[in-house]
Amino acid sequence: MAIYLGGETVEKPNLDDLTPRQIVAELDKYVVGQNAAKKAVAVALRNRIRRQKLPPEIAEDVLPKNILMIGSTGVGKTEIARRLARLANSPFIKIEASKFTEVGYVGRDVESMVRELADVAVDMAKQGAFEDVLPRAEQNVEERLLDLLLPPSDFSYQTQDDEEPAETPQSIHRTREKLREQLVNGALDDRLIDIETTDRGNATIDFIGGQGMEEMGVNFKDMFGNMFNLLPIVEGTNVNTKYGMLSTDHILFIAAGAFHVSKPSDLIPELQGRFPIRVELESLTIDDLKRILVQPKNSLIKQYQALLGTEGIELTFTDDAIDRLAEMTEEINKTTENIGARRLHTLVEKLLEDISFAGSELDEKQQRIDAAYVDEHLSTLIEDQDLRQYIL
């Protein structure tokens, strides 16, 4: 999975100036708890920057260190990696390691994940270049359209038989500005014009590898051939892509898994050595679930408040509603499959289903969610979960 969200206008801090403490502070805005994991990825990222500043004769002996995250589903492994990549303005992909098999067998070559990361990096570079030239391109298009609507040749000469006096530069400017105003306001949208175009070759872009990230879901048991193929990739090698040779020295690999079936010691020793930084993420408590609902920047509740706010609906949650949601989430996670904070998405979506369906048709624009409302709309969901345990 590769995700890039363009269009952000918020100025991002310079990565070279960010200390590990500042990186953790940025991650705290989006991820609740898991301080050990945040500290580990912050130090790993900072060490990559430090390594780039070393003299070449020293840098080649300083091996990049990758990270192994151990924790159950939904505790924040992917979110930490994704937010770190966005903070570093680096490409990020998430790959399921079981997709890859030994060369010659059904599956994908392990080098394909590096090529996918290169594709994401190039897309980000193109998007950045597009945003840089967009204002100038819009201005050039506007001037070109005005030239077509008001050609300069129309006022370049005046015959002696003309009864009206020639247009002055001032009047031409006024006419042009009037057309510009109409163009901006959309008054000329229905007007058709002819534009001559010239064929151009495909644009090319140079690719320069920067800090990248990758997270792999780990289920390595009975995949020893696959593990040996992964060794050179995570250790550092050159991979041939359509953009040229790419060194994986500049890629930060974060292997993450719940390890319910297997355990980290099932990894071959050589691969364990490539992931020397190990962190265990803690299971989420009720207090963590409460904080996840309201504390992070653009938290789940803030997202729904913003969505419904576009239709004039003011959505508020009482403290007892937050408490009840967290309690239900923990209860369902204990009695069924534990998917961590992802369970909150299911419950909140079900909780607000009726309000979201009615939307702007609601007569009462102020909607208050309390514990009684939560019990009324989600109690049947818990009962269904209890019954499903006995259905074959």
Per-residue pLDDT reduced to its tens digit, 330-367: 888 888 888 888 889 889 998 998 888 988 888 888 88
Residues 6+ apart with CB under 8 A from 284: 33, 74, 75, 292, 330, 340, 341
Asked if residue 215 has pLDDT above 70, the reply is no
Instruction: Clarify whether residues 374 and 260 are in a common domain.
Output: no
**The pLDDT of residue 384 is above 80:** no
Check whether residue 246 and residue 369 sit in a common domain.
no
- CATH number of the domain at 182, please: 3.40.50.300
13 domain residue, yes or no: yes
pLDDT attached to residue 87: 85
Q: Specify the higher pLDDT residue, 233 or 341.
A: 341
Predicted confidence (pLDDT) per residue in 38-51, tens digit: 888 888 888 888 88
62 with 132, same domain: the answer is: yes
What's the pTM?
0.67
Please tell me the predicted confidence (pLDDT) of residue 108.
Answer: 58
Q: Is the pLDDT of residue 84 over 70?
A: yes
Looking at the domain assignment, is residue 195 inside a domain?
Answer: yes
Does some domain include residue 144? yes
> Which pLDDT does position 385 carry in this prediction?
60
> Could you tell me the pLDDT band of residue 323, with boundaries at 50, 70 and 90?
very high
- What mean pLDDT comes out for the span 97-117? 63
pLDDT of residue 318: 92
Last-in-domain residue among 283, 299, 329: 283
pLDDT digit string (tens) for 373-382?
998 888 877 7
In a domain, residue 391? The reply is no
Q: How far is CA 270 from CA 140, 194, 273, 276, 314, in A?
A: 57, 65, 5, 11, 56
Question: Residue 40, Cβ neighbours under 10 Å: how many?
Answer: 22
For the cut 70, the answer to whether the pLDDT of residue 27 exceeds it is yes
Same domain, 315 and 338: yes
254, 283, 312: which is the final residue of a domain?
A: 283
Q: Does residue 122 register a pLDDT over 50?
A: yes
Structure tokens, 110: 């392990």
Instruction: Let me know whether 297 and 161 are in one domain.
Output: no
Determine what percent of the chain is predicted with pLDDT higher than 90: 7
**Same domain membership, residue 65 and residue 45:** yes
Residues 18 and 156 in one domain: yes
Instruction: Give the span between the Cα atoms of 60 and 163, in whole angstroms.
Output: 82
Radius of gyration (Cα) for the chain, nearest Å?
29
Q: Which of 230, 219, 269, 223 has the alpha carbon at shortest distance from 114?
A: 230
Q: How confident is the model at residue 2 (pLDDT cuts 50, 70, 90)?
A: very low
Query: Is residue 67 very low, low, confident or very high in pLDDT (cuts 50, 70, 90)?
Result: confident
Residues 222 and 112 in one domain: yes
- Note down the domain range covering 222: 1-283
Q: What is the pLDDT of residue 220?
A: 40
Percent of the chain with pLDDT over 70: 72
Residues 278 and 327 reside in one and the same domain: no
At residue 388 the predicted structure's pLDDT band, cuts being 50, 70 and 90, is: low
Q: What CATH number did the domain enclosing 299 receive?
A: 1.10.8.60
- Which residue did the predictor score with more confidence, 195 or 4? 195
CA distance 268 to 284: 30
Domain boundary among 283, 315, 345: 283
Q: Let me know if residue 311 belongs to a domain.
A: yes
Inside any domain, residue 148: yes
- If asked whether residues 263 and 310 sit together in one domain, one would say no
In a domain, 147, yes or no: yes
Mean pLDDT of the chain: 75
* Same domain, residue pair 197 and 296: no
**pLDDT at residue 223 is higher than 50:** no
Average pLDDT over residues 193-209: 51
Q: Three-state SS across the chain?
A: CECCCCCCCCCCCCHHHCCHHHHHHHHHCCCCCCHHHHHHHHHHHHHHHHHHCCCHHHHCCCCCCCEEEECCCCCCHHHHHHHHHHHCCCCEEEEEHHHECCCCCCCECCHHHHHHHHHHHHHHHHHHHHHHHHHHHHHHHHHHHHHHHCCHHHHCCCCCCCCCCCCCHHHHHHHHHHHHHHHHHCCCCCCCCCCCCCCCCCCCCCCCCCCEEEEEECCCCCCHHHHHHHHHHHHCCEEEECCEEEEHHHEEEEEEECCCCCCHHHCCHHHHHHCCEEEECCCCCHHHHHHHHHCCCCCHHHHHHHHHHCCCCEEEECHHHHHHHHHHHHHHHHHCCCCCCHHHHHHHHHHCHHHHHHHHHCCCCEEEECHHHHHHHHHHHHHHHHHHCCCC
Q: Is the pLDDT of residue 158 over 80?
A: no
pLDDT(253) > 70: yes
Which of 304, 305, 300, 308 has the alpha carbon at shortest distance from 343? 300
Residue 236 belongs to a domain: yes
Which is nearest to 227 in space by CA: 315, 110, 105, 53? 110
Q: Which of 176-180, 215-219, 261-265, 297-301 has the lowest mean pLDDT?
A: 215-219
Say whether both 249 and 338 belong to one domain: no
Query: Number of structural domains, the chain?
Result: 2
Single out the residue of 343, 347, 346, 283 nearest to residue 75, CA to CA: 283
pLDDT of residue 210: 41
Of the two residues 348 and 251, the one the predictor is more confident about is 348
